[in-house]
Amino acid sequence: MKITKLEPSQHVKERWLCHMEDGSILRVTENEVVAFALYAGMELTGENLEKLKKAAGESRTRFKALDLIARKPMSRKELIDKLTVKPPRKRDGTEREPIATAEEAAAVADWLEDLGYLNNLEYARTLVRHYSAMGYGEHRLKDELFRRGVPRELWPEALEEAREPGDGIDSFLVKRFRGQTPDRKDLKRAADALARRGYNWNEIREGLNRYGAGIEEDV
């Protein structure tokens, strides 16, 4: 297969367009242009063409993965899910292919982990610090770690970054009651709200008692 024309893309930086003699266009990066010494008029054997396609696919996946984690920190699972999800159909109804297969996405995730750009533990610690500062308790923190695909074996170390539960509860109660004395219904609503935020009953009861509620067991 001959490359009839080789030109840089006008729309995507570092992308080159290989116009093939069968009318197709193979999109490659500067890496492939250099590595395969591509030029207009070059004849590619079937084997070399397949190698070029594979290399181009790996480069595109790497660039996309780098772009994704540069925009927003994420777990390994979140990255792989984004790379392998099937995009919406085109306007004409034609299906689009995912950015990468599961195997390709896993390989890119490995590459990013080796470079230190993808780190599940550091990401988990950041999540815990963020949601703990927002006033959420351990149950809610675990829900977030689960939802974002952080492996369970990393949870204990990540949860060490959480604030003391009493700090979050006290801050919540001060803002909610604004120095006023709550009645039983107010206390029940506050307890329910704190439970939704991920605190357990013992933590909630102790917090209400610090506020002066005088609760022994039930609200």
Same CATH topology for 3-115 and 120-159? Answer: yes
Architecture in CATH of 3-115? Orthogonal Bundle (1.10)
Would you say the C-alpha torsion 25, 30, 33, 39 has a positive or negative sign?
positive
Domain ranges of the chain: 3-115, 120-159, 170-210
Mean pLDDT to the nearest integer, 70-98: 86
What pLDDT is attached to residue 205? 92
- List, for residues 6-44, the tens digit of each pLDDT value: 888 888 777 889 999 988 898 898 889 998 998 899 998
Radius of gyration for the alpha carbons in the chain, expressed in angstroms and rounded:
27
Is 36:48 a contact under the CB 8 Å cutoff? yes
pLDDT tens digits along 173-216: 999 988 788 888 999 999 999 999 999 999 999 999 888 766 66
For the chain, give percent helix, strand, coil, nearest 5: 55, 10, 35
CATH 1.10.20 is held by the domain 120-159:
no
